[in-house]
Structure formats: structure tokens, C-alpha cells
Amino acid sequence: MVRARDARNCYSRLGGFTLVELLVVIAIIAVLASMILPALGRARAKGKAAACLANHRQLSLALHLYAGDSEDRLPYNHGASGILDAIESGRFDNWATSLLNWELDASNTNFAWLRAGGLGPFLSGGNGVYRCPSDRVLSPIQRSAGWEARLRSVSLNAMVGNAGPFLQGGRNTNNPSYRQYLRLGDIRIASAIFTFIDEHPDSINDGYFLNRLAQDEWVDLPGSSHGGGVVLSFLDGHGEQHRWRHALTKPPARPDAADLPMAIPAGEREDFEWLMWRATRAVSPATSSAP
């Protein structure tokens, strides 16, 4: 009898855990989780960046298909007034017919307008290519209305395409001393000039990404949701992920994060100059051989 009771007590001690042992196991799990979760986060971020680059490749292909059907001409690239006119007249001729804001306006989510014209017919109805998967920024009223995301986070370089009313004598009135590329053949080195870029959610409104090269300020702000960097694509179809150096270039991705236009302090022009050098080239004899 004594032996049986001792055996049961021994089995009980061997088959259970003490409080200290449980705490040690929990601590080990916590340490492992702290090591694994950041790695999973980085992997997820890399996956979103890869998906974003794939979207840019599809848009670049659509741009070339459009030009192939249009005698080498690049698509219209209007500002807000031109896009509104295109919607009201039913032309839908802008590369992307949508205007974005933080209100409940239909243009924030109307995929039919995107499919109706511009690059839409060359994208086989694919709607997701206009938006980076990292961008789900909404205003409080949009989130309360049950929205999941706005339809677009990508803009087209303002110096690429037909600028409509901003085009005078073949020059863009916003940057009259710089080249406006109206045809694919206008760009001698297709890998040197960017076309599509992820724009900051608080900056994106019309279809183009515009900055005035003669001024020290951001008018439109590039995105920075990929580890403090942006995804952009070039006329030859290749895409890049570029990381910004200055905090001013990468405010948080939320409504009202950037007070634009935003002056660039002396000594912090590096990001601006890197991007503007890839936007266009000055029209002068000194740059006649440039892209």
C-alpha cells in the first residue's frame, strides 16, 4: 500500500510542471517571439514592396501599349481641373481619371472611371495595380463609412505625357525651362526618366506628381511607406526602391501629415535633387545630349 502511494506521488511529480518551470517556458516563448516577429514583419514588408513593383511593371507595360496604339504619343496627364472636365464631359482621357481627397467623394473609389479610358483598357480590368498594398490610409469619415482603401496611390511624373492646359509651345508652364516628354521617342535614355511613383497619401490628389524644379519646396511629396523609401518605375519598364535620407521627405502616412507646399531647408535638398534629376532635363545646349 505504501509502495503504491509513493509510486503515485512520484508519477504526479514527474508528470506535472512547477510554477517556476512554467514561467521559464513562457519566458523562452516570449524571447523566441521577439526574435521571430520582427523577421516576419520584414518579410511581409518585402512582400508588399515586391507586389508594388509588380504593379508598376504592369502600369509601365500599359503605358507602352497606349503609345503603340497612339503613334508614339504618351497619354494625357492632367491636373485637377483637367480631370474634372474629363469626368464631366465623359471623355475619361487622362491616364487615370480619379481625384483623391479625405472626403466621401465618389472619385476616391470609382473604378469604373479608371477602366473607362486612359491606361484602363490596357490593364485587362486590373484595378489593384493603381494602389500600393501598403497604402490603406483613410480619413476618420471614410473609415466610419466602411471604406477599406482609396483606389490609387500611384501618380505619373508631371513631365511625362500631355499636360493639357499647362502645355504651351510644347513646354509645361510649371517648369518652362525643362523638357516635357510628349512621345516615347522624346526620351533618349528610357532608363533615366521615371514615369510612375508612389505618392504620399496626404499629397496625392490629381493624376500627376509635380514639383517646380526652380523652387526649394515640395509641392507633391513622394511616398515613404517601404521602410522610409519609395517605389518608382522608369520609361524602360524597370522599377526601383529608393530610401530617403531626410525626415522631412517622409512624414507619417496619415491625413494632414504634410503642410504642402513645404519649404526644403538648406542642406536637406539631397532627396529633392535625386528625384528631380530623374524627372526631366533642362532645355539648354549644355544638356542637349541628356535624356
Give the pLDDT of residue 49. Answer: 85
The arithmetic mean of pLDDT across residues 141-158, rounded, is 97
Q: Does pLDDT of 10 surpass 70?
A: no
Residue 157 included in any domain: yes
Domains held by the chain: number: 1
Residue 26 has pLDDT above 70, yes or no: yes
Assign 25 a pLDDT band (cuts: 50, 70, 90). Answer: confident
Q: Quick: pLDDT tens for 121-131.
A: 999 757 789 99
pLDDT at residue 173 greater than cutoff 90: yes
Domain assignment present for residue 8? The answer is no
Mean pLDDT score of the chain: 89
Spatial separation of the C-alpha atoms in residues 181 and 58, rounded to whole Å? 20
206, with CB counted inside 10 A (0-12, 13-18, 19+), is buried
Q: Indicate whether 3 belongs to any domain.
A: no
| Per-residue pLDDT, 287 | 47
The tens digit of pLDDT for each residue in 49-71 reads 899 999 999 999 999 999 999 99
Residue 14 has pLDDT above 80, yes or no: no
pTM: 0.84
Look at 126 and 249; give whichever has higher pLDDT: 249
Nearby residues of 238 by Cβ (< 8 Å), 6 or more positions away: 191
Which carries the bigger pLDDT value, residue 49 or residue 200?
A: 200
Which residues lie across from 225 on neighbouring strands? Answer: none
The model's pLDDT over 87-108, given as tens digits with 9 standing for 90+, comes to 999 999 999 999 999 999 999 9
| Residue 288 pLDDT | 46
pLDDT at 286 over 60: no
Find the mean pLDDT for residues 207-215: 95
- Indicate the length of the chain as a whole number: 291
Structural contact between residues 243 and 228, judged by C-beta atoms closer than 8 angstroms:
yes
Domain of 111 in residue numbering reads as 14-287
In a domain? residue 75: yes
Sign of CA dihedral 93, 94, 96, 100: negative
The full 3-state SS of 49-108, as one line of letters, equals: HHHHHHHHHHHHHHHHHHHHHCCCECCECCCHHHHHHHHHHCCCCECCCCCCCCCCCHHH
**Which of the four pLDDT bands, split at 50, 70 and 90, describes residue 172?**
very high
Q: In this predicted structure, what is the pLDDT of residue 190?
A: 93
Most confident of 24-33, 40-49, 73-82, 120-129: 73-82
Query: Residue 167: phi, psi to the nearest 5?
Result: -95, 115
Q: For residue 8, what pLDDT is reported?
A: 52
Residue 5 lies in a domain: no
- The pLDDT of 161-176, averaged and rounded, is 95
> Is the confidence at residue 17, as pLDDT, over 90?
no
Q: Is 43 exposed, middle or buried (0-12, 13-18, 19+ CB in 10 A)?
A: exposed
Q: Which residue has the higher pLDDT, 267 or 28?
A: 267
User: Percentage of residues in the chain with pLDDT exceeding 90?
Assistant: 74
